[in-house]
């Protein structure tokens, strides 16, 4: 039930747990970081998997477009995703 | 023969083996410098192959060409302004999807392309299948398999480059962006075409797309045109942020569509890299392992270099004395001995450190660990207004500020880099230790260890406070976003690391060497004149300057002798001790110097503490200033580093001395 609910609503990327897969719905990041994220494949529709968090909890490492990318929570908080199975 | 020259630009993502391929093509016939006016490194080289003179320009490694960073601007401007004959894109065969993103942009720039599909061995080993014929057809460019680290495929690549150069007709494919965007592109193209100057010079479709994405650099190119107003009107009507996302999205959609035709990726769930990372970036083990590795790198850089540095020092001292002994008149002997030979020695003394550090950094980078180091340290560094990548340069600062400032080159963002460069000199380097040992040992007895420890902490604190201060004043804004690829772990290529080490050592000697030599000679002049005075004595210019600064320095508890020693310390901080020995007439006898210092009523425990604080902070030594100038390419920031250091040192030493006096010490 809870799982179905979370799948209905968009959550932000920073709330994922290691192993979670999600599909990006919206990139709300502004400024130069936006450009870079888009270039690195963080575009709406991309599937991302959270791999791990840094030992101090930030940044976070994802798998996207077949490679590993790490970004800070600051930016992750502004990327909206949909959990997928 | 003029037409047998081919100019080739190497483009590609970072971590795809671009430098290794460049080295494999050009061998040792290469030149390292800077792109004009910016601190981005430029490498070029030539290769004679089958009657062709092939000039290879290594563009900065970028993921995209959208002018996000100086690297991207440099790479892009080279392609559109200089129009190389061929652009070779090095593509990581095991990571096609993201690599092709750059390919789509190169296609839009209408570059003649040859694709080097590098690291094929890794992809095939993993079980991937690559369809080269299909790739050539879809990308409309020749594709060559290479394994640069093993010199495989280099000749085939050059053959294709020559073939493509002799192939007159250009064929390229373009990406469709969907009806709405395509309509806009057409509208903009129509307007741009009215300006023959622009249309003749740049690919118009590319320009239109970039304008839709809000590219400031391209806007600037258009601003000078008569059509700029019409363009602005067109752009005002759209939401550029939406378009930017839409366009990037469409590129990836196109890649997704063609990708399955180019290769089939084996479904490895847990790669070797992932397994290594489970340990190296583990929540509990990550930091201890990182610290252990850093300690190792630090020890290697500084302990391993010590015998070489000693050899250089002994060699140059011997050379200086024997030259001085055999030359008449005395002033000339001193100029050549103390001035010039001493100066060259002062330049070369840092070469062992620089060699080893850059060798190790290149190994760390080539293995993929450098990205993890930034990943592990970013949280901490971000808190103090810096980037994860600033950690290693700051750490190296404890050994010597000179290689530390040079190591900031791995920080992409110019402002992050500048801040790191400016605060590194507050990190207490090894050369400052002899000063602490002399004064803390002489005046603080059993507390000496605590005092030295506190000085190191003070250095770190001032560095952090300065970073914060700069962030809120001269270099405003937050640290650059941390958006970093974690490349797969690989075995570093030894040849690449050796060339990297050599290039950096050579650059240091060429670029920073002259400034250091000049600094040393200026100090020699000040110590030797007016004509006839004893070197560095009270009557020399140094002595006179020492006296004239006395009113300012007495608030810190310093007399003219200390001030003179501090001026000599500009050459290298450990010289402060040696020149005090000379001024007290005891030479390099440390025990006698300690006795004379204790006997001198003008030096107390408090003023010696103030002196240690001042020595820690007062100014980067001439070698550090030399590399600051080299790395920032700016005299303004070099002079800032100098004057900011003196100001901070004076204020803190003042507080220490006056505060201590008030408390009755």
Q: Tell me what the mean pLDDT of segment B209-229 comes to.
A: 87
pLDDT at B332: 84
Contact call for residues B401 and B585 (beta carbons, < 8 A): no
How far B262 CA lies from chain A's nearest CA (Å)?
Answer: 15
ipTM > 0.95 (yes/no): no
Any CB–CB contact under 8 A between A65 and chain B? yes
Sign of CA dihedral A32, A36, A42, A44: positive
- Cα A16 to Cα A38, A50, A76, B569: the distances in Å are 20, 7, 10, 55
Q: Tell me what the mean pLDDT of segment B373-383 comes to.
A: 93
Q: Is the pLDDT of residue A6 over 60?
A: no
What is the band of B497 on the pLDDT scale with cuts at 50, 70, 90? Answer: very high
Q: Is the pLDDT of residue B2 over 60?
A: no
| pLDDT tens-place string over residues B430-471 | 888 889 988 998 999 888 889 999 999 999 999 999 999 999
Q: Which residues of B touch A36 (CB under 8 A)?
A: 63-64, 68, 481, 483
Chain A, window 1-30: residues with a beta carbon less than 8 angstroms from a chain B beta carbon: 27, 30
Q: Tell me what the mean pLDDT of segment B230-251 comes to.
A: 86
**Element (DSSP H or E) covering residue B32:** strand B30-34
Looking at chain A, which residue has its C-alpha nearest residue B485? Answer: A69
What is the band of B303 on the pLDDT scale with cuts at 50, 70, 90? Answer: confident
| CA B247 to the chain's CA centroid | 33
Q: Is the pLDDT of residue A3 over 80?
A: no
How far B96 CA lies from chain A's nearest CA (Å)?
Answer: 8
Any CB–CB contact under 8 A between B318 and chain A? no
Contact call for residues B254 and B138 (beta carbons, < 8 A): no
Any CB–CB contact under 8 A between A60 and chain B? no
pLDDT at B475: 87
Q: Which residues of B touch A47 (CB under 8 A)?
A: none
A39–B484 CB contact, under 8 Å:
no
pLDDT at A7: 58
Cβ density class B251-272: b for 16+ within 10 Å, e for less? bbebbeebbeebbebeeeeeee
DSSP B361: H
Q: Which two tokens stand for residue B477?
A: 């804004």
pLDDT at B3: 64
pLDDT at B556: 92
A35–B484 CB contact, under 8 Å:
no
Q: Is the pLDDT of residue B171 over 80?
A: no
Highest mean pLDDT among B70-74, B226-230, B407-411, B655-659: B655-659
- Residue B36 makes CB contacts below 8 A (sequence gap 6+) with none
Domain that holds residue A57: 2-84
Q: Tell me what the mean pLDDT of segment A3-29 comes to.
A: 84
Q: Which two tokens stand for residue B625?
A: 């200033």
pLDDT at A62: 95
Q: Is the pLDDT of residue B287 over 90?
A: yes
B379–A32 CB contact, under 8 Å:
no
pLDDT at B510: 83
Q: Tell me what the mean pLDDT of segment B578-582 comes to.
A: 79
Determine if the peptide bond prior to B530 is cis (ω within 30°): yes
DSSP A83: E
Contact call for residues B432 and B451 (beta carbons, < 8 A): no
What is the band of A5 on the pLDDT scale with cuts at 50, 70, 90? Answer: low
Q: Tell me what the mean pLDDT of segment B635-663 comes to.
A: 95
Nearest to B68 among A27, A39, A55 (CB): A39
Q: Tell me what the mean pLDDT of segment A6-35 comes to.
A: 86
Residues A32, B248, B241, CA angle at the centre, nearest 5°?
A: 50
3-state secondary structure B525-543: HHHHCCCCCCCCCCCCHHH
Residue A46 sits in a domain of what CATH number? 2.30.30.90
Sign of CA dihedral A30, A35, A36, A37: positive
Q: Is the pLDDT of residue B1 over 50?
A: no
Q: Tell me what the mean pLDDT of segment B375-379 comes to.
A: 94
The backbone torsions φ and ψ at residue B637, rounded to the nearest 5 degrees and listed phi first, read: -75, -30
Looking at chain A, which residue has its C-alpha nearest residue B252? Answer: A41
Of B378, B425, B370, give the one whose Cα is nearest residue B403. Answer: B425
pLDDT at B339: 79
What is the band of B268 on the pLDDT scale with cuts at 50, 70, 90? Answer: low
pLDDT at B88: 96
pLDDT at A8: 63
**Element (DSSP H or E) covering residue B65:** none
Per the structure, the count of domains in chain A is 1
Domains of chain B and CATH, by start: 2-166 (3.40.50.300), 179-264 (1.10.287.1770)
A40–B98 CB contact, under 8 Å:
yes
More confident residue, B637 or B525: B637
| pLDDT tens-place string over residues B335-352 | 888 778 888 888 888 889
DSSP string, B384-438: TT--GGGHHHHHHHTT-HHHHHHHGGG--SHHHHHHHHHHGGGS--GGGHHHHHH
pLDDT at A13: 93
Q: Which residues of A touch B177 (CB under 8 A)?
A: none
Q: Is the pLDDT of residue B495 over 80?
A: yes
Name the average pLDDT for chain B: 88
Q: Which two tokens stand for residue B384?
A: 């103090």
Q: Which residues of B touch A27 (CB under 8 A)?
A: 245
Q: Which residues of A touch B63 (CB under 8 A)?
A: 36, 39-40
Token pair 């671009």 in the structure block, residue: B18
pLDDT at B390: 93
A69–B484 CB contact, under 8 Å:
yes
């Amino acid at each position: 039930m809870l799982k179905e609910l979370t799948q209905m609503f968009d959550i932000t990327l920073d709330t994922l747990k290691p192993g979670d897969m999600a599909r990006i719905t919206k990139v709300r990041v502004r400024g130069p970081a936006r450009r870079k994220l888009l270039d690195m494949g963080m575009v709406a529709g991309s599937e991302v998997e959270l791999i791990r968090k840094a030992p101090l909890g930030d940044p976070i490492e994802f798998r996207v477009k077949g490679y590993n990318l790490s970004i800070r929570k600051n930016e992750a908080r502004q990327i909206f995703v949909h959990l997928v199975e | 023969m003029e037409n047998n020259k081919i100019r080739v630009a190497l483009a590609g993502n970072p971590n795809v083996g671009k430098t290794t391929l460049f080295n494999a093509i050009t061998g040792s016939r290469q030149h390292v410098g800077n792109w004009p006016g910016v601190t981005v490194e430029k490498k070029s080289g030539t290769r004679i192959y089958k009657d062709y003179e092939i000039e290879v320009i290594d563009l900065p490694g970028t993921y995209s060409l959208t002018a996000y960073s100086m690297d991207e601007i440099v790479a892009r401007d080279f392609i559109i302004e200089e129009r190389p004959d061929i652009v070779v894109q090095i593509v990581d065969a095991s990571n096609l999807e993201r690599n092709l993103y750059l390919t789509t942009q190169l296609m839009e720039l209408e570059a003649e392309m040859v694709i080097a599909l590098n690291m094929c061995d890794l992809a095939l080993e993993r079980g991937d299948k690559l369809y080269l014929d299909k790739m050539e057809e879809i990308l409309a460019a020749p594709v060559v398999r290479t394994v640069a680290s093993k010199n495989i495929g280099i000749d085939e690549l050059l053959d294709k480059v020559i073939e493509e150069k002799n192939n007159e007709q250009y064929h390229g494919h373009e990406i469709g962006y969907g009806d709405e965007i395509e309509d806009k592109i057409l509208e903009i193209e129509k307007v741009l075409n009215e300006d023959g100057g622009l249309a003749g010079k740049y690919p118009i479709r590319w320009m239109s797309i970039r304008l839709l994405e809000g590219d400031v650099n391209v806007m600037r190119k258009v601003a000078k045109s008569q059509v700029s107003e019409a363009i602005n009107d067109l752009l005002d009507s759209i939401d550029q942020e939406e378009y930017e996302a839409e366009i990037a999205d469409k590129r990836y959609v196109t890649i997704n569509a063609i990708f399955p035709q180019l290769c089939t990726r084996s479904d490895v769930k847990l790669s070797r890299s992932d397994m290594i990372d489970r340990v190296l970036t583990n929540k509990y083990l990550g930091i201890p392992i990182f610290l252990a590795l850093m300690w190792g790198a630090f020890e290697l850089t500084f302990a391993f270099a010590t015998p070489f540095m000693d050899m250089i020092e002994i060699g140059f001292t011997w050379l200086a004395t024997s030259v001085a002994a055999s030359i008449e008149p005395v002033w000339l002997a001193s100029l050549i001995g103390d001035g010039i030979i001493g100066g060259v020695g002062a330049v070369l003394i840092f070469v062992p450190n620089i060699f080893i550090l850059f060798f190790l950094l290149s190994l760390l980078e080539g293995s993929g660990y450098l990205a993890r180091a930034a990943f592990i340290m970013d949280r901490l560094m971000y808190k103090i207004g810096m980037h994860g990548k600033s950690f290693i340069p700051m750490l190296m600062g404890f050994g010597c500020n000179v290689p530390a400032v040079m190591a900031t080159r791995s920080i992409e963002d110019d402002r992050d880099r500048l801040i790191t460069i400016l605060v590194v000199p507050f990190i207490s380097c090894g050369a400052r230790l002899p000063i602490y040992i002399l004064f803390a040992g002489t005046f603080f007895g059993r507390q000496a260890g605590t005092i030295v420890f506190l000085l190191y902490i003070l250095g770190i604190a001032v560095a952090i406070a300065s970073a914060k201060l700069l962030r809120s004043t001269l270099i405003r804004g937050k640290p650059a976003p941390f958006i970093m690829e974690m490349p797969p772990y690989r075995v570093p290529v030894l040849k690449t690391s050796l060339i990297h080490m050599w290039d950096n050592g050579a650059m240091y000697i060429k670029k920073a060497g002259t400034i250091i030599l000049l600094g040393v000679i200026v100090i020699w002049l000040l110590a030797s004149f007016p004509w006839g005075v004893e070197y560095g004595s009270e009557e020399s210019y140094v002595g006179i300057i020492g006296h004239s600064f006395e009113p300012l320095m007495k608030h810190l508890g310093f007399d003219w002798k200390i001030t003179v020693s501090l001026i000599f310390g500009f050459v290298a901080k450990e010289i402060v001790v040696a020149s005090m020995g000379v001024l007290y007439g005891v030479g390099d006898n440390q025990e006698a110097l300690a006795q004379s210092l204790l006997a001198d009523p003008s030096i107390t425990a408090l003023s010696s503490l103030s002196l240690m604080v001042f020595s820690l902070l007062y100014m980067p030594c001439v070698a550090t200033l030399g590399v600051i100038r080299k790395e920032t390419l700016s005299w303004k920031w070099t002079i800032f580093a100098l004057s900011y250091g003196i100001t901070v040192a004076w204020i803190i030493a003042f507080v220490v001395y006056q505060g201590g006096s008030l408390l009755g010490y």
